[in-house]
A and B are shown apart, each in its own frame.
Chain A
Amino acid sequence: MSVLVFAPVQGGILKKVALEAVSFGVRLARSRQSVCSVLCSASASADTVKQLLDLGVSVNYRVDHDLSDSDSVTYYMAQAAASCGAQQIVVSNTYMGKSVAPRLAVRMGIPLASGVIDFPQASETGWEVRRSVFSNKGYANLQVQGNSCVISITPNSFATESHPSGEMKTEHMVVAKGAQEGKIRLNRVDRVAGKIPLTEAERVVSAGRGLKGPENWHLVESLASSLDAATACSKPVSDMHWRPHEEHVGQTGITIKPDLYIAIGISGAIQHLAGVSSSKVIVAINTDREAPLFKVADYGIVGDAFDVLPRLTEAVQRFRAAHV
C-alpha cells in the first residue's frame, strides 16, 4: 500500500510543482499510515535523492526515460502503481497533470479529483476534497467514494515541508521496450527557454489595454524580471496580438494562483477577475480610481503606468540589491 507521486524534473532538478506534489503525497501517506513512493526520470541529479529523502519519500522509482510526454508518464505511472500497490495517485495540475490524471484514473479504475486546493479530509464513505470551480468564482467540496483516488493538485496551493524518513529505497524500473504506445509521432517541442510557466509562477506581472500598445511591454517585462515573475495579459491584449495567447489570463484563458499578482492598466472585468482573484496578494495600478480591480486588490496605486512602472521597477531593484 502506498501513495504514488509523479515528480517532474527539469534540467536535472525537481521542479517546484514536483516538490509540492511530493510533499502533499508524504502528508497524505502519513495521514493514512501509508508510505509515499515517487516516480521520476533517471535524468534527475544525485542531489534529488537527498531532496526526496528529506521530504519523507520511502521509495523512489527511476526510469531511463525523460518523461516529457504524457503517454509515457501515464504508462510508467501505471507500472509503478501496480508495483507498489498504490491506492492514491498525486500529480500537479499542470498541462502534464491534466493529460495524465484522467487516463490513470480510467486505467486504474479509481475516482478522480482535479484542481484540488486543500488537504483532503477523511469522511464516512471515503473522503472529502476541495477544489475551485467557476474559474475561482467559487469552491466545491467533493465527496469521493472509497479509499482510492487520483488527485491533481493546483500549483502554488501547498507548502513544501520536510519530514526526513531516514531511509529511501531507489528502484530502477526496467520496462520492456515497445511496451509504450507511441501512436503519437512527436516531431518537435518548442520550449520557451528561461521563461517561467504562468501556472507555476509565484509572482505574475500582468498588463492590459491601458499599456496602449505592444511597444510599451518592455516596461512590464522589466518589472517582471526584477521580481523573477512571469508575464500575463488581459484578453483584448492577446486578441489584438500584442502578446502571445498563452499569456491570456481569466475565465476563458488561464486560471492562476500566484502569491503576488500585479495588474497594470487592467480594468478588472468579471471574466478577468475570475482567473486571478485567488492570488494571495493583488496589486492594481490604474489611472481610474473606480476601476473594479481595486475592489479585489490588496494594494492600489492610482496613477499612470508610464510613470509608476519605471519607479516601481527601480524600487524593487533597490530592495533586491539590499537583500541579497
Chain B
Amino acid sequence: MNIMVCLSQVPDTTTRIVFTADGKSLDKSGVQFIINPYDELALTKALELNEALGSGSVTVVHVGRADSESNLRKAMAIGADKAIRVDADATDSIQVARELKAVATKGNYDLILCGRESIDYNGGVVGGLLAELLGLPLINIMTSMSSNGKDAEVSFDVDGGRAFAQVSHPFVATCQKELTEPRIPNMRGIMMARTKPLEVVSAETDSGPTQVSRFDLPPAKSGCRFVDPADMDQLVTLLHEQSKVI
C-alpha cells in the first residue's frame, strides 16, 4: 500500500516545561525533541502492514521547520521510504491539517496514519480534521489493524469499551498504544536513511483560526500533609471535611 504517516515532533517526555518570559512560547533551550510517541507507532504499523502485503511505500509528512529534519531522518532510518516537510511553523491544528491535506491529495495514498494525539499540544484533533477535509472515513484511537490492501479489519477505543469494524481503503486512522511496539533504527537503516529523499515543500497558508496568546504553568502545590498510616479514619475525615471529595 501507499501509506502516508503524519509525524510531529515533541519535547522529550522528561522535559521540565519552561515558557519564555513573555509567556508566548516554549523555552526550547536544552529541550530535546523526539518523534511524537504515537506517531512512532503509526510509522511502525505502516511498515508492518506493507511487510505483510509484500509491497508498498511509506512516506512521512511533517509540518514544521528545518530543526525537525533529524527526526525525519530517524523516521527514514526506522524504515520510511521518503519524507516530506512542509515548511511552516505549526501553530494551529486546522492549519496543520490543511497543509497535510495538500500533501495527501498529491499522493494517492491508500492509508493515512496519524498519532492519537501529540503529547505537546494534546489536541488529538489533526487526524479527525484531515479525514473530514479529505472526505475519508476516520478510525479514531485505533488499537489493531490488518489489511489485504483493499479492506481492513480494525479495532478502536470508544467510551467505556472497544469497537471492531471493517473499512475499505482509503481511510484515515489515528494510532493508539497496543497497535504495535515502536521500532528502533539499526545501523543499516541509519546508513540507508542518508540517501533517502527528504523533500521540502512550501506552505499554502501561514496561520489558522486560533493562536496562543499566553502559556503559563500550573500553580505550585501548597505542600503535603502526612497522615499516620495507623489512622486511616483521620485520612477519610480530612478527605470529607477539608477537601470535600468524598
Binding site for B on A (CB under 8 A): 8, 68-71, 94-96, 98-99, 101-103, 105-107, 110-115, 128, 131-146, 181, 183-192, 195, 197, 199-200, 202-203, 227, 245-246, 248, 251-253, 255, 259-260, 270-271, 274, 277-278, 280-281, 283-284, 294-304, 307-308, 311-312, 314-316, 318-319, 323
Contact = CB atoms under 8 A, between A and B. Distances in A.
B140 A99 contact: yes
Contact of B243 (A131, A252, A281): A281
A299 B238 contact: yes
Nearest to B223: A298
Contacts of B239: 260, 281, 283, 299
A95 B132 contact: no
Contacts of B122: 115, 131-135, 255
Interface residues of B, number: 74
A95 B140 contact: yes
A95 B128 contact: no
Given A112-B125, A141-B213, A142-B212, A315 B232 contact: yes
B140 A70 contact: yes
17 contacts: A102-B126, A103-B129, A106-B133, A112-B93, A115-B123, A135-B119, A138-B17, A145-B211, A203-B245, A246-B157, A270-B13, A280-B243, A295-B224, A297-B221, A297-B224, A301-B229, A318-B236
The 4 residue pairs across chains A and B that have the minimum distance between CB atoms? A102-B128, A303-B229, A191-B161, A111-B209
B218 A133 contact: no
A316 B229 contact: no
A189 B213 CA distance: 41
Interface string B220-243: 011011110110110111111001
A98 B243 contact: no
B188 interface: no
B213 A112 contact: no
B37 A103 contact: no
Nearest to B162: A190
Tell me whether chain B's interface is mostly helix, strand or loop, or mixed: mixed
A139 B218 contact: yes
A125 to B, nearest CB: 9
A41 B123 CA distance: 27
> By CB atoms of chain B within 10 A, which of A192, A227, A301, A312 has the most?
A301
Contact of A98 (B140, B208, B229): B140
B13 A271 contact: yes
Nearest to A197: B160
Contacts of A191: 160-161
Given A105-B94, A191-B160, A299 B225 contact: yes
A203 B224 contact: no
Contacts of B132: 102-103, 105-107
Given A143-B210, A295-B224, A95 B125 contact: no
Contacts of B138: 70, 99, 103
Interface of B: 11, 13-14, 16-17, 19, 37, 93-94, 97, 119-129, 131-133, 137-141, 157-168, 171, 177-178, 208-218, 221-222, 224-227, 229-230, 232-233, 235-240, 243, 245-246
A187 B210 contact: no
Given A183-B168, A300-B224, A140 B214 contact: yes
A126 to B, nearest CB: 9
Given A106-B129, A107-B132, A259-B245, A134 B157 contact: no
Nearest to A318: B233
Contacts of B240: 319, 323
A284 B224 CA distance: 9
Contact of A283 (B119, B178, B214, B235): B235
Contacts of B16: 137, 270
A245 B178 contact: yes
A255 B118 CA distance: 12
Contacts of B133: 106
Contact of A136 (B218, B227, B245): B218
A181 B37 CA distance: 32
A34 B4 CA distance: 43
A259 B239 CA distance: 10
Given A94-B159, A102-B128, A111-B209, A187 B165 contact: yes
Contacts of B120: 133-134
A246 B103 CA distance: 33
Of A133, A251, A270, the most chain B CB neighbours within 10 A belong to A133
Contact of B213 (A107, A128, A199, A245): A128
B232 A314 contact: yes
Contacts of A299: 224-227, 235, 238-239
A114 to B, nearest CB: 5
Nearest to A152: B125
A84 to B, nearest CB: 21
B47 to A, nearest CB: 20
Contacts of B123: 114-115
